[in-house]
Structure 1
Amino acid sequence: MTPHKVNRHDTIGVMPNQPKTPMKSFRISEDLYRSALSKAKSEGKSLTDVVREALEHYISS
């Protein structure tokens, strides 16, 4: 299986895990998006990692 190419605001490259984890979308303000992306990068994380962790915490509480 050939990896899919992506080209979004925060990611340009190959996503080798496709199609194991399907893409989802949601609306978010630009200010919140930029702040979250900046903080995630400063922590060495992707925004996907941050959202996944937050959702895991949300459903487990």
Structure 2
Amino acid sequence: MTNLTAATEARQLAQAQLEQADKEWRQAIREEVARGKSYAQIAEVAGITRGRVAQIIHENR
């Protein structure tokens, strides 16, 4: 079970890191909107659609 235990721990760590990165990414998007950037500008840099930018801005997280 050592390999399974190690793999499980690595997976849990990776998931936590992904969740933190996602939180920071969403916050960065909100900050760019607050700075006056357009949804189109943000979408281009973030690799998402303008509609997705709008969803992120209006979500309650």
TM-score by length of 1: 0.27
Which of structures 1 and 2 has the larger relative contact order (alpha carbons within 8 angstroms, sep 6+)? 2
TM-score by length of 2: 0.27
Higher helix share: 2
Higher strand share: 1
